[in-house]
Every structure is written in structure tokens, then in C-alpha cells.
A and B are shown apart, each in its own frame.
Chain A
Amino acid sequence: MNDNPVILAFCCHYCAYAAADLAGSMRLQYPANVRVLKLPCTGKVEVNYILAAFERGADGVFIAGCLEGGCHYLEGNLRARRRVERAKKILQEIGLEPERLEMYNLSSAEGPRFAQIATEMTERIAALPPSPLRPDRATVEKNVQEMAAAAQAAVAGDNR
């Protein structure tokens, strides 16, 4: 069992990220294990991004995009779902539990749903042993923060 997992959440700017913000504004409680990485759309998530998170020691990863049919870029969240399916197969093939990875859909108005997803995912990952790829926790934390910061910088660069 893993009582202090590190979970990386790839969040769409238009829904999950706003929902996480709303959850904060609503003073909702959810486990502090989730690190949020903001993307302009979950369609930006590639399989290698997901694998990079696991390679750097993340215990779990979830991708949170808009409700199906509601993607700002029409089909980014549908592409993300297929990529998550592919990444799960790769995790299974290399011997890592595919349930460490999940795709969720929610709208920007669903602050409580974000808190529920964060709780559900944390409980799921906590029930598994720590990732066998995990270095010490401080290093994982650093790696994950670096990934989030790099994504943030890339998005800021795109918007210049």
C-alpha cells in the first residue's frame, strides 16, 4: 500500500483546470497528492507525455478533459481518450498496473466533481504499492513539478 502517492493530473484549461480552481474557491477538500499540469486541451496529451510521467516516478496519472461533445477544439478529448487507451496497453505490456492511469471528463462548472475525481484516483493509487519505478519521494515530487513547470512555460510561449 502507498500512503503518500504522487499523482500527476493533465488538466484541460477549459474544463478540469477551471473546475479545480472552482473546487478551491468552494473550499472543497481533496487529497493533496494531486499535482496539476495545465494544457490548452487534452488533445495535447501524447502517449510519450504519459509515459514520461511514469518514467519519472509518478505513482498515478489522470487526464481530465471536457465532456465528450464539448471540447473547445472539437475532438481533443476524444483523441486523448484513445491515447490513454494506448498508454494503458503499453503499461500493461511492461508490467505496470494500467489502473495507475485514467481518463476523466468533466465541465468547468464541476468543482465538486474535480474533488471527487482527485479523491477517487488517490484512493485507487493508494491501494496499490508505490510505483516500482519511483526513486525517493522528493525526487518524484521534483520531477513532477518540473514537468508541470515545463508545460506551463510551453503554453506561455505559445501565447506570446
Chain B
Amino acid sequence: MIVADRKSISEIRDMIKGHDRVLLVGCGTCVTVCLAGGEREVGILGSAVRMSLKLIGRGHVVVDECVIERQCEDAFIDALAIRGVEYDAICSLGCGAGVQALAERFPDKAVYPGLNTQFIGILENQGVWAEKCAACGACRLGEFAAVCPITRCAKRLFNGPCGGSRQGKCEITADRDCAWQLIYDRAKALGILDKFEAVAGLQDWSTSTDGGPRKVVREDQCIASLE
């Protein structure tokens, strides 16, 4: 899932304080699961922002809250379309895609991000999320025993480990596992260490963000173009 965390209350307050009516919009998917932008977090932010505005003498600013099921898909924004008219600004507690989807749907309104979108990751422990995927567009997990060296090795080495691997930890910080130790351990357990005799090939970065904004097109699904 996409993992995000909330911007500081003062940063959000300062973004919206020039408006008179603001709608905080949460999202019911990834950011709900990572406890950044779901119903509860929108409620907490709403209370905090209203109090904060009142304390700086902007208590007349209306700050309301709602959550839609999925911000990154226009069909789900329908539920918001009528209500959105009542506000002059929207603060999204969705990921960067959600913020931009709202901005595209409401071209005449200010739309602000309430979250900092961090990465694609998974829950590691209660309250701890870890990055697992860099969305490089050319997945090579099959070559590396299903441990991503791009995301999890600090140097993004395809032929690791480097000399900074210390008892299974990365030299960057003692609480970060060395990705290449993980790759080695898993490959050994699977009996596929011989695969690492060969030098790993170069990565095609043209499929990553180096090639500019990306699109995925499934022609069999493009019904509209047939009409």
C-alpha cells in the first residue's frame, strides 16, 4: 500500500488559514490502513485545526470533515461533488494521487495536501511501516530471492553486499537490515545461491521516473476509444 504521514498541524493551518470554508477530505483506502488519512485521523486533524485557528484569532473559519472511499478514482469523488460547492478550499488527506485527483475534479478550488506521501510499503510492526517497493517499472525481484535491492539496499546495489554490511545490518544505521544479507539468507534457504555466481545485469531505468510521467495502457479495457 501507499504509506503516508500527516503534515504538522501548523503547516496545514497556515496553508488554509486564508480561506473561510475548508473541507478536510480523508480517503478510505491506503492512508486509512496506515493511519494517516482515514476517518479517525480526519477527525483528529479537524479538531486540532479548528482549535489552532481559534487560538490565532481565525475562529470564524469553518473546517468540516468527510471521508470518501477512494480519492484516486474520479467515480468515487462524485459523492463529494455536490458538497464541495459549499467550500472555497479542500485539504486532502489522501496520497499525492488523491490530492491531484481532487484538484482535477475541482478546477476552481484551492486544494492542499494534508499528508506527506512516503512510499509503497507494508506494516512491519504495530505502528511501523517499511518501504518495500520503489515502483521502478521493471521488477527484478525474481532475480534477488524476492528482496528488492533497489528499495532496501541503501546503495541500490545489484551485486552486493558492499563492505558496509555489519552482522546483518547496514552501515547507514544499526536498525536497518542489510538487504544483501536478507537476499543471501533467503537464497541459501531456497537452495539457489548458485544464481548469484553470475553478475546481475544493468537496470533499465527508462521505465522509472527518469522517463517522465508514466502511463499504463490496457487497450482491451479502452472501451471509450471505440465509441
A interface, CB within 8 angstroms of B: 46-48, 51-52, 54-55, 90, 93-96, 132-133
Q: What chain A residues lie within 8 Å of B40 (beta carbons)?
A: 46-48
Q: 8 tightest CB-CB pairs across the interface, nearest first? A: A51-B47, A94-B52, A48-B43, A48-B44, A55-B47, A95-B55, A47-B44, A93-B9
Partner of B48, one of A46, A51, A132: A51
Bound-complex Cα distance A133 to B40 (A): 22
A-B contact pairs, 24 of them (CB 8 A): A46-B44, A47-B44, A48-B43, A48-B47, A51-B44, A51-B48, A51-B51, A54-B47, A54-B51, A55-B50, A90-B44, A90-B48, A93-B9, A93-B10, A93-B48, A93-B52, A94-B48, A94-B51, A94-B52, A94-B55, A96-B51, A132-B55, A133-B54, A133-B55
Bound-complex Cα distance A52 to B52 (A): 13
Bound-complex Cα distance A90 to B54 (A): 15
Contacting pair A93 B47 (CB below 8 A): no
Within 8 A of A (CB), among B42-97: 43-44, 47-48, 50-52, 54-55
Bound-complex Cα distance A96 to B55 (A): 9
Main SS at interface, chain B = helix
- B206 interface residue (CB < 8 Å to A): no
The smallest C-beta distance from A34 to any residue of chain B, in angstroms, reads 22
Within 8 A of A (CB), among B181-212: none
Contacting pair B51 A93 (CB below 8 A): no
Nearest to A53 among chain B residues (CB) is: B47
Nearest to B8 among chain A residues (CB) is: A93
The smallest C-beta distance from B148 to any residue of chain A, in angstroms, reads 31
Bound-complex Cα distance A96 to B51 (A): 9
Bound-complex Cα distance A47 to B38 (A): 14
Contacting pair B9 A90 (CB below 8 A): yes
The smallest C-beta distance from A50 to any residue of chain B, in angstroms, reads 9
Q: What chain B residues lie within 8 Å of A95 (beta carbons)?
A: 52, 55
Bound-complex Cα distance A90 to B12 (A): 13
Bound-complex Cα distance A51 to B8 (A): 16
Nearest to A89 among chain B residues (CB) is: B9
The smallest C-beta distance from B60 to any residue of chain A, in angstroms, reads 14
Encoded as 1 (CB less than 8 Å from any A CB) or 0, chain B from 1 to 32 comes to 00000001110000000000000000000000
Q: What chain A residues lie within 8 Å of B44 (beta carbons)?
A: 46-48, 51, 90
Bound-complex Cα distance A94 to B40 (A): 18
Bound-complex Cα distance A95 to B51 (A): 9
Bound-complex Cα distance A47 to B40 (A): 9
Bound-complex Cα distance A48 to B35 (A): 13
Q: What chain B residues lie within 8 Å of A132 (beta carbons)?
A: 54-55
Bound-complex Cα distance A143 to B209 (A): 52
Q: What chain B residues lie within 8 Å of A54 (beta carbons)?
A: 47, 51
Q: What chain B residues lie within 8 Å of A52 (beta carbons)?
A: 47
Bound-complex Cα distance A51 to B43 (A): 9
Most buried by A among B44, B50, B52, B55: B44
Q: What chain B residues lie within 8 Å of A46 (beta carbons)?
A: 40, 44
